[in-house]
A and B are shown apart, each in its own frame.
Chain A
Amino acid sequence: MKKVDIILNNEEGLHARPASIFSKKAGKFKSDIIVLKNDAEDKEYNPKSILSIMSMGAAMDDKITIIAEGEDEEDAVKALQALIESGFSLEEE
């Protein structure tokens, strides 16, 4: 299992555009991935679902935890972390 904490640093939070880039990226990995907001462990979000990500209502400075489990867990966590840290400015492949 791989886990990482990231502080959301893009001004608009996880709005439609970042949420869609984020779930597109997450969908590329085989691992099971869940996302938590501000350490609230009772509420897990599915990063492969744009609706789930948007429903987080994550705003700038919120703490996002990504937990991945599976064959490509390391890559998944790294890729999603890089995406958030770039402020979702990474070009879509």
Chain B
Amino acid sequence: MQHLQGIGVSAGIASSKAELIKPSLIEVEKKQVEDTAAEWQRVEAAKKTSIEQLEEIYQHTLNNIGKKEAEIFAAHLMIMQDEEFFGPIKQLIENNKCNAEWALKEVGERFIKMFADMDNLYMQERAADIKDVVQRLLRILSGTEKSKLGTEKSIIVAHDLTPSETARFNKKDVLGLIMEVGGKTSHSAIIARSLGIPAVVGVKGILEKINKNDELIIDGSKGEIYLNPDQVTLAKYQELKNDFLQEQEKYMKIKGSSAITKDGHKFELAGNIGLPSEVEMVLENEGEGIGLFRTEFLYMERNSFPTEEEQFKAYQLVAKKMQGKPVIIRTLDIGGDKDLSYFDFPEESNPFLGFRAIRLSLERTDLFKTQLRAILRASNYGHIKIMFPMISTVQELRGAKSFVNDAKEELQTEGIPFAEDIEIGMMMETPAAAVMSDEFAKLVDFFSIGTNDLIQYTIAVDRMNARVANLYSPFNPAVLRLIKEITENAHQEGIWVGICGEAARIPALIPYYVGLGVDELSMSAGSILESKWIIQQLDTSKLVNMMRDIENMDNTAEIKSFLEASLAKLS
């Protein structure tokens, strides 16, 4: 058995044998032709056939997949009638007396290069559309039609697939999709999601490791692949698959409804993102906002700090995509376990207790100011809120807020617009902040509880240290008491409170948060519908007893099993 990891782009689990699609590009040779008019006639004929094919694929996709997905073939049809594409082909044939295939390949490559060089990911991926169109024409010219895909039940493994190939998938037989390249926004990922086929992309080198008819397990939620799995793994995934399907059915039914309890209390469910491209997943899962936009990606995998303009563009993009729904941008949270190649972090014996997050921002004020200006500028294009990470003293918060005011004044002087009433909040992730939350509540517009750090600092446990990791638990009574205190102190001062750590999406804890009256839960997109379902099963008046019982418990394991049992009663 071999385990491979990729990027999960379409949720679901499948196990079946592998069907390999190796790149089958048609080789083109340059040939001299005498009769250029006849050669051009061959192009015209191929064009006509491919228009007929594309019209059929368009209809098929429209009827079986969806309008958005079908539009890609409408675009291919337009290219087939594009004078900017066929004009140069005709010219090449006439001037060079070359064969149709060569002219087609030459012109195709020009456009492919042009799109591939554009500085926008979406446009770069459009190079695939040109390749697809060119390959279609070449196939018709050479008289080789591709065999049908997935006529037997299998998991398709390919280097890359053209939109036409993915659209020909038969959902009954294609049980899963694995590609060596691609990202969440690639066309095949979108089609796989709309067909409900589990898909994992970015699995480099899988074609070298696998043979046709090898057994595969694919987990499209986690991006995991098992090659020739053993019986134990197979059995485990069969069970996971059944659970997944049952859950899916349950959650599909509540699409379009709100996160409201039976007795009418509304909660906000938002998504956590680390990249602008993840917004789509949040919207697809009906997230009502971005509760945590991590900005570290802007600083990673590069050689220098990002400029104000670069940051502005990224924040603006997310704000616009969310169309007025709130977007909480967390200022740089670097240090600890996350460092940068171009910034010399001091050697620390306790990085998690060291120079990180807001502590760094308050010392490297040039970086902080740049980021704040970019966030403020973007606030003019949507509903943005600012959030500071790792605050442990009131002085830090006051300091951070004064930089926001400085940045606002600068922008005002420069005549650059921004949302003057932008909300400012802070992460609640240190015990010091939690204990002082009554004071902090007077100084900010909201709290967002970062459970990962709050648990680690409260219990004083390093979850990466296997010998003590068992102490780390979101069900720990001390942690739950702090969350309760933070929530009460926030509401006392009339501000709202959210939870954005991993514990926000733990099903058994959601009734507890609802019982406390936490206003917002922010989580990875894939957990939003499940959380919504749980909230809809709850009745806050009936949670009173449960909340009192938990208050009387002093044991993590006891609280966990009690909450899990309460949750089980819901379904």
Interface positions of A (Cβ within 8 A of B): 11-13, 15-17, 19-20, 23-24, 46, 48-52, 54-55, 57, 59-60
Among A15, A20, A54, A59, residue most surrounded by chain B Cβ atoms (within 10 Å) = A54
The CA of A60 and the CA of B313, in the complex, are separated in Å by 11
Interface contact A11-B320, CB-CB below 8 Å:
yes
Among A16, A51, A57, A59, residue most surrounded by chain B Cβ atoms (within 10 Å) = A51
Q: Say which residue of B74, B84, B126 sits within 8 Å of A49 (CB atoms).
A: B84
The CA of A52 and the CA of B118, in the complex, are separated in Å by 13
Taking CB atoms, residues of chain A closer than 8 Å to B72 are 16
The CA of A4 and the CA of B266, in the complex, are separated in Å by 48
Q: Say which residue of A11, A19, A49 sits within 8 Å of B75 (CB atoms).
A: A19
Interface contact A24-B78, CB-CB below 8 Å:
yes
Among B79, B85, B119, residue most surrounded by chain A Cβ atoms (within 10 Å) = B79
The CA of A50 and the CA of B120, in the complex, are separated in Å by 17
Interface contact A55-B83, CB-CB below 8 Å:
no
The CA of A12 and the CA of B125, in the complex, are separated in Å by 14
Q: Say which residue of A15, A23, A60 sits within 8 Å of B320 (CB atoms).
A: A60
Residue on A nearest B67 in the bound complex, by CB:
A17
**Nearest 4 CB-CB pairs, A to B?**
A49-B84, A50-B78, A16-B75, A20-B75
The CA of A55 and the CA of B130, in the complex, are separated in Å by 12
Interface contact B85-A49, CB-CB below 8 Å:
yes
Interface contact A20-B83, CB-CB below 8 Å:
no
Chosen A-B contacts, 20 in total, with CB atoms closer than 8 Å, are A13-B120, A16-B71, A16-B72, A17-B71, A17-B74, A20-B71, A20-B75, A20-B78, A23-B82, A46-B84, A49-B83, A50-B75, A50-B82, A51-B84, A51-B130, A52-B82, A54-B115, A55-B111, A55-B114, A57-B123
The CA of A13 and the CA of B129, in the complex, are separated in Å by 18
Interface contact A11-B74, CB-CB below 8 Å:
no
Closest CB in chain B relative to A78 CB, distance in Å = 22
Taking CB atoms, residues of chain A closer than 8 Å to B78 are 20, 23-24, 50
B122 at the interface (CB under 8 A from A): yes
Interface contact A51-B74, CB-CB below 8 Å:
no
Interface of B: prevailing SS = helix
Interface contact A16-B320, CB-CB below 8 Å:
no
Known contacts A17-B75, A23-B78, A55-B118; can you find 17 more A-B pairs with CB under 8 A? Answer: A17-B71, A17-B74, A19-B75, A20-B74, A46-B83, A48-B83, A49-B83, A49-B85, A50-B78, A50-B82, A51-B79, A51-B82, A51-B84, A54-B123, A57-B118, A59-B120, A60-B320
The CA of A25 and the CA of B367, in the complex, are separated in Å by 47
Q: How many A-B residue pairs have CB under 8 A?
A: 54
Taking CB atoms, residues of chain B closer than 8 Å to A23 are 78, 82
Taking CB atoms, residues of chain B closer than 8 Å to A59 are 120
Interface residue count on the B side (C-beta < 8 Å): 23
B321 at the interface (CB under 8 A from A): yes
Q: Say which residue of B84, B120, B129 sits within 8 Å of A52 (CB atoms).
A: B84
Residue on A nearest B87 in the bound complex, by CB:
A49
Interface contact B82-A49, CB-CB below 8 Å:
yes
Interface positions of B (Cβ within 8 A of A): 71-72, 74-75, 78-79, 82-85, 111, 114-115, 118-120, 122-123, 126, 129-130, 320-321
Taking CB atoms, residues of chain B closer than 8 Å to A46 are 83-84
Taking CB atoms, residues of chain A closer than 8 Å to B79 are 50-51
Interface contact A15-B122, CB-CB below 8 Å:
yes
The CA of A48 and the CA of B122, in the complex, are separated in Å by 22
Taking CB atoms, residues of chain A closer than 8 Å to B320 are 11, 60
Taking CB atoms, residues of chain A closer than 8 Å to B84 are 46, 49, 51-52
The CA of A24 and the CA of B120, in the complex, are separated in Å by 24
The CA of A20 and the CA of B82, in the complex, are separated in Å by 11
Taking CB atoms, residues of chain A closer than 8 Å to B71 are 16-17, 20
Closest CB in chain A relative to B316 CB, distance in Å = 9
Closest CB in chain A relative to B136 CB, distance in Å = 16
Closest CB in chain A relative to B194 CB, distance in Å = 15
Interface contact A11-B321, CB-CB below 8 Å:
yes
The CA of A50 and the CA of B129, in the complex, are separated in Å by 12
Residue on B nearest A16 in the bound complex, by CB:
B75
The CA of A16 and the CA of B120, in the complex, are separated in Å by 13
Taking CB atoms, residues of chain A closer than 8 Å to B129 are 16
Taking CB atoms, residues of chain A closer than 8 Å to B126 are 16, 54
The CA of A15 and the CA of B120, in the complex, are separated in Å by 11
Closest CB in chain B relative to A51 CB, distance in Å = 5
Closest CB in chain A relative to B48 CB, distance in Å = 18
The CA of A41 and the CA of B321, in the complex, are separated in Å by 31
Taking CB atoms, residues of chain B closer than 8 Å to A52 are 82, 84
Q: Say which residue of B74, B82, B111, B120 sits within 8 Å of A57 (CB atoms).
A: B120
Taking CB atoms, residues of chain A closer than 8 Å to B85 are 49, 51
Residue on A nearest B120 in the bound complex, by CB:
A57
Taking CB atoms, residues of chain A closer than 8 Å to B114 are 55
Taking CB atoms, residues of chain B closer than 8 Å to A48 are 83
Interface contact B118-A51, CB-CB below 8 Å:
no
Closest CB in chain B relative to A16 CB, distance in Å = 4
The CA of A86 and the CA of B79, in the complex, are separated in Å by 24
The CA of A12 and the CA of B111, in the complex, are separated in Å by 21
Closest CB in chain B relative to A19 CB, distance in Å = 7
The CA of A20 and the CA of B278, in the complex, are separated in Å by 26
Taking CB atoms, residues of chain B closer than 8 Å to A54 are 115, 123, 126
Residue on A nearest B122 in the bound complex, by CB:
A15
Closest CB in chain A relative to B285 CB, distance in Å = 19
The CA of A13 and the CA of B317, in the complex, are separated in Å by 12
Taking CB atoms, residues of chain B closer than 8 Å to A17 are 71, 74-75
The CA of A34 and the CA of B481, in the complex, are separated in Å by 67
Closest CB in chain A relative to B89 CB, distance in Å = 12
